[in-house]
A and B are shown apart, each in its own frame.
Chain A
Amino acid sequence: MRAFRPTVDTKFHIDFSWWEKRNKDIRIFMRDLLCPECREAVGTLSDVKMVDTIDPETAEVTRIDAIWESIRACCSLKPGYLTSDTPLLDSIFRTFLANRNEPLSVLELYERLDKRPPETLLRMLTKGRTYLGIKPA
Chain B
Amino acid sequence: MSRNLANEIVSDLRVARGAPFDPASVTRPDPRLMTYYTIVAALTLIAFPITFIPLWIRYHTLRYRFDEEGVGMQVGILFKRETYLTYRRIQDIHVTRGLLQRWMGLATVAVQTAAGASSAEMTIDGVADPDGLRDWLYSKMRGVADHAAEPSSAARPQDESLAILREIRDELHSLRERSAS
A and B bind: no
A contact set with B: CB distance below 8 Å: none
**Interface of B toward A, CB cutoff 8 Å:** none
